Each structure stands twice: as C-alpha cells, then as structure tokens.
C-alpha cells in the first residue's frame, strides 16, 4: 500500500498539469462556445476543424478508398495538403478508420500522451514537481494534442516500449529494442536515430548499425518509392517550428541580409552549418568534460529513462539538423527532462537545474518567430550535442566504465 501511495504522490504534478489543461478547455468551451475557441484561450494555434494532423491520415484514407493517390491528390484534405506519412498509416482503413473516425482517433492520441507522461515523469522534490508542472501543459505538448499529431503515438510507443522491455528477460532485450525501433521507423522514419541507445560499447555500436540497417530495410519494404514523396510533402517553415532554419533566420535577420538570403535559398547550407555547430559542441564537451559533468548527469544507457533520454535527444538533434520541424516534435525532449528530474530527485545537487530550465523553456516556444526563443533553441541544440555526443564517445572507449547514476527501472 505504501508503494502505491509513493507512486501516486510522485505523479501528482503530472495529474495536476493534465487536470489544469482539461479544466481550462472546459472553461474555454463554456466561455467561447467551442473547443476551437478554448484552444485560442490557451494561446494554442488551433485550426478548425480540430485534429488537423489526424485528418491528414483519415482524409487520406477517404481518398484512397475512392481509388485515388493521397500523395498527389489534395481535394480530400480540408487544407489541400497531400499525405506526408509512410503508407503503413493508411492501413488503418482495415480497422474501419475513415474521416468520421477523426475525433475519436485524436482523443485516443491525447490519452496515449497523458499515459506516457504519467509513466515517464515523477517528482520527489518540490523543484522536480515545479519542472513537471511547467512541462506538462507546455506549448509543445498542447500543440501536439490540438493537432492530433502522430508524434504522440511515436512518443507513447517509445516510452511504454522501453518500460515494458525493461521487465523482460535480459537475453531478449536487444531483440525487442531493435523490433521497437524498426516499428517506430516504419511509422515515421526519423526514430531510426533511436539506435543510439545500443551504443554502450563497441559491441553495442555494431548492434546500433545492425538495428539501423534492419530499420531502413523495413522502411524500404513498407514505404519503398514513397519516401521521396513523404519528404517532399512535409513542409519546412520558420514559424510554428524549431531547428536550424528558424534559428539562423532569427540570428541573421537583424545582422546580415546576405547571409539571410543564403539561409532561405540554400537549405543544405543550413543543415551543414548546424552540423558544424553540433560537432564543435561535442568537441567542447570532450575538452571541458569536468565542467560538463558539473552541469549534467552522465547519461546511463543501462536504465529505462536513460535510454528514453538518449533516444529523445537523438531525435531532437536530427530534427534540428534537418532545417525545421514543427514544435510538437519537442515532446521528445521530455525524455531528457525526465532524466534530469531524476537527478534533481536525489537532492544531492542542483547541477541539472540549468539544462532542465533550458529544455522546459524551449517547450514553451511561441508560435511566431522569436529571436529570444531561437537563442534558446540554439542553446538547447548545443547542450544536447555536447551531452549526447560525449556520452556516446565515452561508451566507445575500450576501458570505459559506466556505473549507473540512479536506478530508473522502477515506477
């Protein structure tokens, strides 16, 4: 009984955050007369009809059922968008999903996100509780819920999958983790970088390469010739987004019109600039490792929240590098935040607090391009690069020892 009460107390901040959002929506519906109006009260950039990204799937199924190609036909989508997900999502039609299922599916995605947050985030100090109270109702999380974006499904499967696998016989864990990453890659492509969780040593590096190869092979089998269309149909914009594109646009707009023009017209140069910045961050982390350890807890690849943090940081890193990703993808930083809160839970040090505040602040990124928040975006990328990069390099050292920093396998 005491154990269950302890678990419940540690989840109270998550429950309070979810309850606050639900209450705000109820009050918003009462005062504005619609859920759309309620989201506007919360300053979430809502669209009408709701669950716009869920409709990308459900309306594309309608398109497919009429014998047309949703990757090229726009007329079925309320905003004239083409389908930009791997074809496996269209398989939901075999479960009876159509555009009439949109609201039910969008609500289901929101419930999955809430469950993942309850599983992942726990507070045992008042500082950890405050962090969670600010993270749960953040702009990025609410944006994902309002749009009904499928990243919520990826986030849920990532969190639930790693916690479930942690309770399986150790001999099966590498196979099950590989299977999970293969599934996530087939669903959305970018989770392939979660193979970073295997890099615990040189043998783990081989497993990471093998898992990545299996994921890419599964993606080619299920997606095949559709991959260029998926990438081409996925928009990149400077607003409602994070990444190297809005970061460099915000930096160069007040300083250099020449560099700004180059950023806008040469997307590959943007990614190259971000890659250089990331590599320099890793090099700086290696040279100033002792100082880095005073600010960030070592990433433990042997426990559940450590693996989730590694996977989330890798996803954030690649999303930033790509150019721009909509802000809802920042929910993957919640894995890193949960790991940092675990360090704060130990009461021995507040070293994790600056990075925690930085990541939570980024979750509150406004919809419109903001120079201040793009600086936060860039700093978060630098911190993620140094933290993840140095941890991976440490694991590849033959004599490296990696004692667990804290147990995170228990609820």
User: 41 near 32, Cβ under 8 Å?
Assistant: yes
Q: Above 70 in pLDDT, residue 249?
A: yes
Is the overall model pTM greater than 0.75, yes or no? yes
| 3 state DSSP class of 325 | strand
What pLDDT is recorded for position 262? 64
Q: Above 50 in pLDDT, residue 34?
A: yes
In Å, what is the CA distance from 47 to each residue of 10, 44, 54, 235, 320? 35, 9, 12, 17, 25
Highest mean pLDDT: which range of 143-152, 251-260, 320-329: 143-152
Q: Above 60 in pLDDT, residue 409?
A: no
Number of other CB atoms surrounding residue 345 within 10 Å: 19
65-74, 210-219, 346-355, range with the lowest pLDDT = 346-355
What pLDDT is recorded for position 399? 57
Average pLDDT over residues 236-264: 74
127-136, 259-268, 382-391, range with the lowest pLDDT = 259-268
Average pLDDT over residues 157-168: 94
| 3 state DSSP class of 118 | helix
Q: Which residues contact 253 (CB under 8 A, 6 or more apart)?
A: 260, 371
CA–CA distance, 205 with 29 (Å, rounded to integer): 51
What sign does the dihedral 29-35-37-40 (CA atoms) show?
positive
What pLDDT is recorded for position 205? 85
Per-residue model confidence as pLDDT tens digits over 268-309: 778 888 999 999 999 999 999 888 988 999 999 988 999 999
What pLDDT is recorded for position 401? 47
Q: In the chain, what percentage of residues exceed pLDDT 90?
A: 69
Average pLDDT, the chain: 90
What pLDDT is recorded for position 259? 60
What pLDDT is recorded for position 405? 47
Per-residue model confidence as pLDDT tens digits over 70-125: 999 999 999 999 999 999 999 999 999 999 999 999 999 999 999 999 999 999 99
Half-sphere exposure of 233 (CA within 13 A, CB side): 18
Q: Above 70 in pLDDT, residue 145?
A: yes
Average pLDDT over residues 203-223: 90
DSSP for residue 372: H
Average pLDDT over residues 248-272: 70
165-169, 178-182, 353-357, range with the lowest pLDDT = 165-169
180-189, 255-264, 296-305, 383-392, range with the lowest pLDDT = 255-264
CA–CA distance, 320 with 152 (Å, rounded to integer): 18
| Residue 246 pLDDT class (50, 70, 90 cuts) | confident
What pLDDT is recorded for position 258? 61
What pLDDT is recorded for position 197? 92
Tell me the backbone φ, ψ of residue 307, rounded to 5 degrees.
-65, -40
Give alpha helix (H) positions in 42-166.
Answer: 52-65, 102-120, 126-135, 139-147, 151-165
Peptide bond into 3 cis (omega under 30): no
Which string of b and e fits 257-294 if b means at least 16 CB within 10 Å?
eebbeebeeeeeebbebbeebbeebbebbeeeeeebee
Q: Enumerate the domain spans of the chain.
A: 2-396
What pLDDT is recorded for position 407? 46
| Residue 264 pLDDT class (50, 70, 90 cuts) | low
């Amino acid at each position: 009984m005491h154990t269950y009460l302890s678990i419940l107390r540690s989840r109270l901040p998550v429950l309070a955050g979810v309850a606050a959002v639900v209450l705000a929506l109820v009050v918003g519906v009462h005062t504005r007369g619609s859920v759309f109006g309620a989201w506007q009260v919360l300053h979430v950039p809502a669209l009408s009809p709701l669950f716009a990204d869920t409709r990308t799937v459900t309306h594309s199924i309608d398109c497919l059922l009429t014998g047309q190609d949703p990757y090229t036909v726009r007329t079925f989508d309320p905003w004239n968008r083409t389908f930009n997900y791997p074809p496996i999502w269209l398989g939901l039609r075999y479960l009876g999903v159509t555009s009439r299922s949109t609201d039910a599916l969008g609500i289901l995605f929101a419930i999955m996100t809430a469950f993942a947050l309850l599983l992942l985030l726990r507070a045992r100090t008042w500082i950890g509780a405050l962090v969670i109270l600010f993270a749960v109702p953040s702009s990025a999380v609410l944006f994902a819920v309002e749009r009904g974006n499928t990243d919520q499904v990826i986030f849920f499967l990532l969190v639930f999958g790693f916690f479930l696998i942690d309770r399986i016989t150790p001999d099966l864990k590498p196979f099950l983790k590989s299977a999970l990453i293969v599934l996530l890659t087939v669903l959305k492509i970018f989770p392939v970088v979660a193979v970073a969780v295997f890099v615990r040593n040189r043998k783990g590096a081989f497993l990471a390469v093998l898992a990545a190869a299996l994921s890419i092979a599964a993606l080619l089998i299920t997606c095949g010739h559709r991959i260029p269309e998926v990438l081409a149909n996925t928009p990149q914009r400077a607003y409602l987004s994070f990444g190297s594109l809005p970061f460099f646009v915000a930096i160069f707009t007040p300083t250099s019109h020449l560099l700004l023009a180059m950023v806008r017209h040469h997307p590959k140069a943007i990614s190259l600039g971000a890659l250089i910045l990331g590599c320099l961050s890793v090099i700086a982390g290696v040279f100033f490792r002792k100082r880095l350890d005073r600010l960030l807890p070592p990433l433990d690849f042997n426990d559940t929240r450590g693996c989730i943090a590694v996977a989330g940081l890798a996803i954030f890193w690649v999303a930033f590098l790509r150019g721009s990703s909509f802000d809802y993808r920042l929910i993957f930083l919640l894995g890193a935040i949960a790991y940092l809160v675990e360090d704060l839970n130990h009461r021995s040090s507040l070293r994790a607090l600056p990075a925690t505040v930085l990541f939570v602040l980024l979750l509150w990124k406004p919809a419109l391009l903001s120079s201040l928040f793009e600086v936060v975006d860039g700093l978060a990328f630098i911190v993620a690069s140094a933290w993840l990069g140095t941890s991976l390099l440490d694991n590849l050292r033959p004599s490296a020892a990696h004692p667990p920093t804290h147990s995170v396998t228990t609820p």
